[in-house]
Amino acid sequence: MLVRIVGQPPLQATVYQMERLRCNLCGEVFTAEAPDGVGTKKHDETSASMIALLKYGSGFPFYRLEGLQENLQIPLPAATQWGIVAAAATLLQPAIDELIRQAAQGKVLHNDDTSMKVLGLMKEATSAEADSSDPPERTAVFTSGIVSTTDGQKIALFFTGRKHAGENLSTVLARRAAELGPPIQMCDALSRNLPKSLQVILGYCLAHGRRRFVEVAPNFPSECRYVLEALGEIYHHDELAREPGMTPEERLRFHQVHSGPVMEKLHACLTAQLEENRVEPNSGLGQAITYMRKHWEKLTLFLRQTGAPIDNNLCERALKKAILHRKNSLFYKTRNGARVGDLYMKPYPHGGVVRRQPIRLSDRVAKARHGPATESAPDAMELPSVPGGERRCITLPQILSKRKKFAVSCCDCVDLAGGQAVGEQNGVDDEAAIAGEIVTM
């Protein structure tokens, strides 16, 4: 097996020079037809996908991609990039509406938000404060993340504006089917994360409670050590409960048997430290203990409710996309720009090695190499074209007759039926590549 990784521009361009002839008798101009599958649009759908992936999925601003493409001599201005992704967003809107509808039917919904800058909204707030004696009630801008899970399937949604995460969750749950029961909501203890006038089974993120002890651990090392080790044991149990084949009911029973006693001892320890006045309530450690005891029922929902997660890390990871955009692009300019960003800003799947079909020698060529062919295949395969290089014509029979290394890097056209390669260029390769197995990234 041969793995070959090549570098190329994020967006490539192919120039087709179509011949034009004019009739001397009637003056009509005839233009050669474009190759099949080329189409008439300058930018195809994959262009919008790649730009959106770089911009909203990898934190690559328009201006940075413009500079890269300019250096690679395939110019693509930032304004053109925005036009491409904005046009594609209109086509994708119906699919996003359907995703929102399906997300509303989820069994568990995670939600949280992070700050974001939208220059248009910031300008509106500034103007309202200057023109009115009654300033607006809310001036901050947020990007809310909502992750809905059902039977292992995940749907991530993003909403940027003045609404909090709880208000956006209410908008999503308004499309929930009436016959379904209340879903499980996982978030932190901020009141703005809760949906108004909608019934949910509320659970709080255990990682947020743990984080408070991590922050004060340098000042209270011995007191925090027991808490962190106990919570570490809980996370170990949760990892074991995620083994393939374990149902939600079995996971609940596993936590009740193994994590329940640990949490009971932890609660007794935290209560004793405050009631016996071993910890100052207003200290950092005292506030961390008070937070855990105040929200204990919701923090331990995973011990009573089937399918309840122990933390909100799933939504926290999804919001990393918005944070990455904020760090690199700094802001959105308008409401519409934020809407387009929300549409594209979903967790993108990571690429990997994709196995393609094996390319084997035909019976005729295999016999010439003194080895049987296991299955029929073409006598040659098409290689990508590379500009430059000395051009010459070579065929497989000529290659095999030499029985040594030869120079073939690419060809513009290959006759797969007859094995005639036309327009090949010089390079470095080996005849074994003809019978190799194609693997692409």
Could you state, in order of their start, the residue ranges of all structural domains in the chain?
A: 20-87, 219-310, 354-440
User: Cα separation of 170 and 100, whole Å?
Assistant: 12
Q: Please give the pLDDT value at position 385.
A: 42
Question: Pick the residue with more confidence: 327 or 127?
Answer: 327
Q: Which residues, in sequence order, are CB contacts of 315 under 8 Å at separation 6+?
A: 110, 111, 112, 145, 146, 147, 186, 187
Helix (H, G, I), strand (E, B) or coil at 276: coil
pLDDT of residue 128: 77
Encode pLDDT of 323-377 as tens digits: 999 999 999 999 999 999 999 986 544 334 444 444 454 565 555 555 554 444 4
Cβ count near 60 (within 10 Å): 19
What SS3 class is residue 61? Answer: coil
Output the average pLDDT for the chain: 81
> Rounded to 10 degrees, what is the CA torsion of 138, 140, 141, 143?
-100
Task: Please give the pLDDT value at position 132.
Answer: 67
Three-state DSSP class for residue 436 = coil
- pLDDT single digits (tens) 373-420: 444 444 443 344 444 443 333 344 444 444 344 333 333 333 333 333
In the predicted model, what is the mean pLDDT of residues 303-318? 94
224-243 pLDDT per residue, tens = 999 999 999 999 999 998 87
Is the pLDDT at 38 greater than 90? The verdict is no
- Dist. CA 93–CA 114, nearest whole Å: 24
How many whole angstroms separate alpha carbon 195 and alpha carbon 180? 17
Residues 61-104 pLDDT 10s = 999 999 999 999 999 999 999 999 999 999 989 999 999 999 99
Averaged pLDDT for residues 207-212? 95
For 346, phi and psi rounded to 5 degrees?
-120, 160
pLDDT of residue 368: 55
pTM here?
Answer: 0.74
The pLDDT value recorded for residue 137 is: 77
Split at pLDDT 50, 70, 90, the class of 131 is confident
Give the Å distances, CA to CA, from 56 to 48, 313, 326, 331, 346.
12, 20, 10, 12, 8
Q: Which amino acid is at 272?
A: A
Per-residue pLDDT reduced to its tens digit, 269-302 = 999 999 998 999 999 999 999 999 999 999 999 9
Most confident of 1-10, 104-113, 118-127, 424-433: 104-113
Nearest to 330 by CA among 117, 128, 76: 117
β-pair type (108-115, 184-187): parallel
% of the chain residues with pLDDT over 90: 60
Place of tokens 């955009």: 325
Report CA dihedral (245, 248, 254, 259) to the nearest 10 degrees.
Answer: 130
Q: Which amino acid is at 138?
A: R
More confidently predicted of 120 and 350: 120
Whether the per-residue pLDDT at 264 is higher than 50: the answer is: yes
- Band of pLDDT at residue 438, cut at 50, 70 and 90: very low
Q: Is-contact 435 419, C-beta < 8 A?
A: no
Among 198-212, 246-260, 276-290, 402-416, the least confident range: 402-416
Closest CA to 411 of 398, 399, 395, 432: 395
What is the pLDDT averaged over residues 128-146?
Answer: 81
Distances (CA, A) of 157 to 51, 99, 101, 149, 208: 20, 8, 11, 12, 22
Q: What are the residues whose beta carbons fall under 8 Å from the beta carbon of 397, sequence distance 6 or more?
A: 368, 419
